[in-house]
């Protein structure tokens, strides 16, 4: 038995049976169901209405063929996905990931977590996720464009500004969103807020690019202030990844007075004891689409080490995993704890393995789970949707202030829920429960309809 509650055990057994061979999805579901023990004990009406049985089953799962022609004239075939997980509180919303590792399990774990994350933002957004096993690395702009156009030719029949609003994730940034939005507009002959993360000239929001990283730091700072009566200022920070989330997490950490000493990509990590020169990182990653290894060749005194996991052996006060799922395991957690880490907050989705999370919590390390800590990206996507609906745009300062308010609120809602349900300070439990409650209330109101 994994669970105290028979109801939760039955739900989990069914999920395991239906989704055999999907380890990431089962990992994400198990963590959420574990948090629900005190909820099902206090609220029997949830089991009676089958709310949890329904919340673990996606409303719709779409898989499709994506054919395109490469620069050599060869036909290539990829697999496209969109999971429309839950629409109880708003249109499906969530990113698109382009990475060779993408499969049904990855898309479903991301879509499942997105439901709770989006609810935590307080904005009216349901949960969804999509992507493809297409690998943008090493492809020309023309190849990426033809892939994106083919992908959108099918996806466009499933999405819409009031139905499902995709955005970026790993491998999908402004270039890909531009190609996809152009194709959607052409096929539908309409200019609406059907994607977020758009360019500023065609309906994008100021501060969306910065939002996930900035939001992560607003959350982390609030967590440290409220739970340790301290702040980010003066702290040594290690940030994995060197993509969109990692770059703007580094920028805000530096603005708040911290020293970021390491970043990485899937090949290795850089260590710069003087503090990362973010201009050089942006030039390598955003302009040249190069590898982080280049940094050590350009900045004197900086070191490059092969293998991305070694980044967690660097002593730091704050660790912010911002690359990918399960990148921080129990062994890395033990080293971080031994080196005196005070706080860990997840910029990536599910970057810490369950035993790493347990180790941090046992050692009294502050732990901000992804659903709460990285919600700033999708929150600002929600603000982009609001601006598109109004046919209006806010200034950078206006969007940034709303983002900060949302992140501070998410921390307090998760903290208060952890207290209310008997696990004060356990933000994994608090975020799962606080995100769940709003969805559950809406589903109860609808009756058994979906
Ligand atoms: P990017 O594509 O911009 O960057 C991804 C970074 O992670 C790169 O440095 C990449 O290295 C590294 N990475 C990717 N896959 C692996 C892997 N298997 N092992 C090691 N490193 C890897 O993506 P984002 O910055 O947007 O996304 C990073 C994380 O944040 C993801 O988990 C995403 O789901 C999450 N997230 C993103 C949001 C957003 O708004 N963009 C919002 C909330 C969460 P390499 O170049 O070598 O592949
Ligand atoms: O994981 C995430 O929250 C994202 N990739 C952002 C989703 C969005 O719709 O902005």
pLDDT digits (tens, 9 = 90+) for 424-436: 999 999 999 999 9
Residue percentage of the chain with pLDDT more than 70: 100
**Average per-residue pLDDT in the chain?**
98
Is residue 205 within 6 Å of ligand 2 at its C-beta?
no
Residue 149 has pLDDT above 90, yes or no: yes
Please tell me the residue having the least CA distance from ligand 1 atom 43: 374
What's the whole-number mean pLDDT along residues 8-14? 98
Q: How confident is the model at residue 1 (pLDDT cuts 50, 70, 90)?
A: confident
Do 371 and 432 meet the contact criterion of CB atoms below 8 Å apart? yes
> What pLDDT was estimated at residue 177?
98
Q: How confident is the model at residue 285 (pLDDT cuts 50, 70, 90)?
A: very high
Atom of ligand 2 nearest to the CA of 197: 10
- How far is it, in rounded angstroms, from Cα 433 to Cα 120? 10
Distances from the Cα of 16 to the Cα of 29, 33, 428, angstroms? 10, 13, 22
> What pLDDT was estimated at residue 193?
97
Backbone angles phi, psi at 403, to 5 degrees: -60, -45
Contacts of 24 (CB under 8 A, 6+ apart): 105, 106, 108, 109, 325, 326, 350
Q: How confident is the model at residue 107 (pLDDT cuts 50, 70, 90)?
A: very high
Q: How confident is the model at residue 61 (pLDDT cuts 50, 70, 90)?
A: very high
Atom of ligand 2 nearest to the CA of 169: 5
Q: In this structure, are strands 236-239 and 164-167 parallel, antiparallel, or unpaired?
A: unpaired
Return the structure tokens found at 62: 């779409």
> What pLDDT was estimated at residue 449?
76
* DSSP state letter for 102: -
Instruction: State the distance from the centre of ligand 2 to the C-alpha of 424, rounded, in angstroms.
Output: 28
Is residue 372 within 6 Å of ligand 2 at its C-beta?
no
Please tell me the residue having the least CA distance from ligand 2 atom 9: 94
Do 110 and 98 meet the contact criterion of CB atoms below 8 Å apart? no
- How far is it, in rounded angstroms, from Cα 430 to Cα 419? 8
Counting Cβ atoms within 10 Å, is residue 129 exposed (0-12), middle (13-18) or buried (19+)? buried
Residue 115 has pLDDT above 80, yes or no: yes
Residue percentage of the chain with pLDDT more than 90: 99
pTM for this predicted structure: 0.98
Return the structure tokens found at 117: 């994350």
Is residue 325 within 6 Å of ligand 2 at its C-beta?
no
- Supply angle C-alpha 198, 202, 206, rounded to 5: 55
Please tell me the residue having the least CA distance from ligand 2 atom 3: 378
- How far is it, in rounded angstroms, from Cα 334 to Cα 344? 13
> What pLDDT was estimated at residue 215?
99
Sheet order of strands, 303-306 included: 303-306, 268-271, 259-264, 236-239, 318-320, 343-345, 366-368
Q: In this structure, are strands 343-345 and 366-368 parallel, antiparallel, or unpaired?
A: parallel
Is residue 196 within 6 Å of ligand 2 at its C-beta?
yes
Instruction: State the distance from the centre of ligand 1 to the C-alpha of 422, rounded, in angstroms.
Output: 34
Residue 450 has pLDDT above 90, yes or no: no
Return the structure tokens found at 356: 């790493």
Residue 342 has pLDDT above 90, yes or no: yes
B/e letters for 50-78, b = 16+ CB within 10 Å, e = fewer, are ebbebbbebbeebebebebeeeeeeebeb
Q: What is the per-residue pLDDT across 198-221, written as a single tens digit (0 to 9) for each?
A: 999 999 999 999 999 999 999 999
- How far is it, in rounded angstroms, from Cα 214 to Cα 398? 14
Total number of residues shown for the chain: 450
Please tell me the residue having the least CA distance from ligand 1 atom 35: 348
Mapped onto helix, strand or coil, the DSSP state of residue 448 is: coil
Distances from the Cα of 144 to the Cα of 96, 137, 152, 166, 187, angstroms? 14, 10, 12, 18, 19
Please tell me the residue having the least CA distance from ligand 2 atom 4: 95
Residue 328 has pLDDT above 80, yes or no: yes
Is residue 242 within 6 Å of ligand 1 at its C-beta?
yes
What's the whole-number mean pLDDT along residues 314-333? 98
What's the whole-number mean pLDDT along residues 291-297? 98
The beta strands (E) that lie in 177-329 are given as 236-239, 259-264, 268-271, 303-306, 318-320
> What pLDDT was estimated at residue 313?
98
Q: What is the per-residue pLDDT across 402-413, written as a single tens digit (0 to 9) for each?
A: 999 999 999 999
- How far is it, in rounded angstroms, from Cα 449 to Cα 111? 21
Our answer to whether residue 129 is catalytic in this structure is: yes
Name the active-site residue from 117, 129, 235, 438: 129
Q: What is the per-residue pLDDT across 349-364, written as a single tens digit (0 to 9) for each?
A: 999 999 999 999 999 9
Is residue 93 within 6 Å of ligand 2 at its C-beta?
yes
- Consecutive H or E run containing 148: helix 141-155
């Amino acid at each position: 038995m994994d669970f105290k509650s028979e109801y939760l055990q039955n739900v989990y057994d069914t999920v395991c049976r239906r989704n055999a061979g999907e380890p990431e999805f089962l990992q994400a579901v198990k963590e959420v169901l574990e948090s629900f023990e005190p909820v099902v004990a206090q609220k029997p009406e949830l089991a009676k209405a089958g709310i949890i049985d329904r919340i673990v089953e996606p409303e719709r799962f779409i898989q499709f063929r994506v054919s395109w022609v490469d620069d050599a004239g060869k036909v290539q075939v990829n697999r496209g996905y969109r999971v429309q997980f839950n629409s109880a509180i708003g249109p499906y919303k969530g990113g698109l990931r382009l990475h060779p590792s993408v499969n049904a399990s990855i898309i479903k774990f991301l879509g499942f977590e997105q439901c709770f994350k989006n609810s935590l933002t307080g904005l009216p957004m349901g949960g969804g996720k999509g992507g493809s096993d297409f690998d943008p690395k090493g492809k020309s702009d023309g190849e990426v464009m033809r892939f994106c156009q083919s992908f959108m030719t099918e996806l466009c029949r499933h999405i819409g500004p009031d139905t499902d609003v995709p955005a970026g994730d790993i491998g999908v940034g402004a270039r890909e969103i531009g190609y996809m939005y152009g194709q959607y507009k052409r096929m539908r002959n309409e200019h609406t807020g059907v994607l977020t993360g758009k360019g500023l000239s065609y309906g994008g929001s100021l501060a969306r690019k910065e939002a996930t990283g900035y939001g992560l730091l607003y959350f982390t700072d609030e967590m440290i202030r409220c739970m340790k009566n301290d702040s980010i200022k003066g702290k040594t920070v290690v940030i994995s990844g060197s993509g969109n989330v990692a770059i703007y997490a580094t920028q805000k950490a530096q603005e708040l007075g911290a020293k970021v000493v390491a970043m990485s990509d899937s090949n290795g990590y850089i260590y710069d004891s003087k503090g990362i020169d973010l201009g050089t990182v942006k030039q390598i990653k955003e302009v040249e689409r190069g590898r982080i290894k280049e940094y050590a060749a350009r900045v004197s005194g900086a070191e490059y080490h092969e293998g991305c996991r070694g980044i967690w052996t660097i002593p730091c006060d704050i660790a912010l995993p911002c690359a990918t799922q399960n990148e921080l395991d129990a062994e890395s957690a033990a080293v971080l704890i031994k080196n005196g880490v005070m706080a860990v907050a997840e910029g990536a989705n599910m970057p810490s393995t369950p035993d790493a999370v347990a180790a941090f919590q046992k050692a009294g390390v502050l732990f901000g789970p992804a659903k709460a800590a990285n919600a700033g990206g999708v929150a600002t996507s929600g603000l982009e949707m609001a601006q598109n609906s109004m046919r209006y745009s806010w200034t950078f300062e206006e969007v940034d202030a709303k983002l900060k308010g949302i992140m501070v609120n998410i921390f307090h809602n998760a903290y208060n829920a952890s207290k209310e349900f008997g696990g004060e300070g356990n933000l994994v439990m608090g975020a799962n429960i606080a995100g769940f409650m709003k969805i559950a209330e809406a589903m109860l109101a609808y009756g058994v309809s979906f």
